[in-house]
Amino acid sequence: MLTLDRVTKTFRTGTFSGSSVTAVDRVSFTVGRGEVVTLLGESGSGKSTLGRMILGLTPVTAGSLTLGGEPVRSGREYYRRVQGIFQDPFSCFNPVFKADRVFALVKEAYYPRVSAADWRGRVERAVRDVRLDPGQVLNKYPHQLSGGQLQRLLIARALLLDGLEFLVADEITSMLDASTRVDVLNLLGDLRERGLGVLYITHDLALGTYLAEQTVVLRGGRITERGATEKVFGNPMHPYTRHLLAAVPRLGVDWVDAEPVGSCVFHDAGAEGELHEAEPDHFVACAQLPGCPGH
């Protein structure tokens, strides 16, 4: 189980690090085993930064991030349990090497004693698990494969680690066409069946609802609303969430600019970033709700 407790990230910028930008501000939620959580937010909302912090690629400024009670520490042992898949499959493969090198790196780091033939068998099984034909995708250069194939190879790579507990999937479908998207999402669903926790980061509302039990809506680095997916989407309470839902294009309806988000948004939650529990399993940042600590 991955637990985030008031996780904050501040980037220092400017000459002599004079100014700073808070990308993620006191974000708390948990992802259990076999659970898919969607992290929804617009560009610049801090969702990718959050994913990178979970992966240990970006250090946390404040707050705590724990996996099964242990603090997150980047390193070989941690990455045996937690893996990530990134947005751009073309950028994830080193163009001068064959695509299977991503598997070779895993073998080198985690399974040095496994014989070459045995490993080959494992790779082929993992590749078949993501519904690819090993004969078509192995021993090829990245530019000879399609984005969907590359993205699946990355999922296959994660499957090779048998101790895997958690997967961060950062915008993994945004570079894929619609027909491939559902396939890749279904693969994530399969991972859930294996007991993996998945953080699915996206800006796409429709895809966000497809898999997730829980949804977290992020804006300007803060959570505006989170809870069970059907509650967040069925009964959106925060003006920003409503705004997002209103922005989904509908057939036959004129697309007018949605009303500006209410003035309360940035004084949001109380000073400690706690959310208001609107109903069981549904938390909302202050949006002029009765009982909100800001009012």
Partner 1 sequence: MNAMPPLGEPASEPVATAQPASDAGPPLASGAAEPSAPLSPTRETLHYALRNPKLLIGLAVVLVLLLTGLFGPLLLDGPDPNAYSGAQAVGPSGEHWFGTTTFGQDVFAQFVYGLRATFLVGVIGGGIAAVIAMLVGFFAGYRGGVLDEVLTMLTNIVLVIPSLAVLLIVNAYLGVRSVPVQGLFIGLTSWPWAARAIRAQTFSLRTRDFVDLARLSGSRTWKIIFREIAPNMSSYLFMTFILLFGGSILIASSLDFIGLGPTDSVSLGLMLQSAQQWSALQLGLWWWFVPPGVGITAVVGALYVANVGLDEVFNPKLRES
* Minimum CB distance to partner 1 smaller for 25 or for 171: 171
* Minimum CB distance to partner 1 smaller for 92 or for 237: 92
Give the chain as a DSSP string. Answer: -EEEEEEEEEEEESGGG-EEEEEEEEEEEEE-TT-EEEEEE-TTSSHHHHHHHHTTSS--SEEEEEETTEEP--SHHHHHHEEEE-S-HHHHS-TTS-TTHHHHHHHHHH-TTS-HHHHHHHHHHHHHHTT--HHHHTT--GGGS-HHHHHHHHHHHHHH-TT--EEEEESTTTTS-HHHHHHHHHHHHHHHHTT-EEEEEES-HHHHHHH-SEEEEEETTEEEEEEEHHHHHHS--SHHHHHHHHTS--TTS--PPPPPPPGGGGG-S-TT---EEEETTEEE--SS-TT-TT-
Distance CA 275, CA 238 (A): 11
Question: In angstroms, what is the minimal distance from the CB of 262 to partner 1?
Answer: 37
In the complex, the residues that contact partner 1 under the rule CB under 8 A are: 52, 55, 57, 74-76, 79, 83-84, 86-88, 91-98, 100, 102, 105-106, 108-110, 124, 133-136, 138-141, 143-144, 154
* Minimum CB distance to partner 1 smaller for 172 or for 217: 172
Question: In angstroms, what is the minimal distance from the CB of 224 to partner 1?
Answer: 28
Distance CA 278, CA 34 (A): 26
Question: In angstroms, what is the minimal distance from the CB of 75 to partner 1?
Answer: 7
* Minimum CB distance to partner 1 smaller for 184 or for 223: 184
* Minimum CB distance to partner 1 smaller for 109 or for 247: 109
* Minimum CB distance to partner 1 smaller for 28 or for 173: 173
Distance CA 112, CA 20 (A): 43
* Minimum CB distance to partner 1 smaller for 124 or for 204: 124
Question: In angstroms, what is the minimal distance from the CB of 7 to partner 1?
Answer: 19
Question: In angstroms, what is the minimal distance from the CB of 84 to partner 1?
Answer: 6
Question: In angstroms, what is the minimal distance from the CB of 114 to partner 1?
Answer: 15
Question: In angstroms, what is the minimal distance from the CB of 55 to partner 1?
Answer: 7
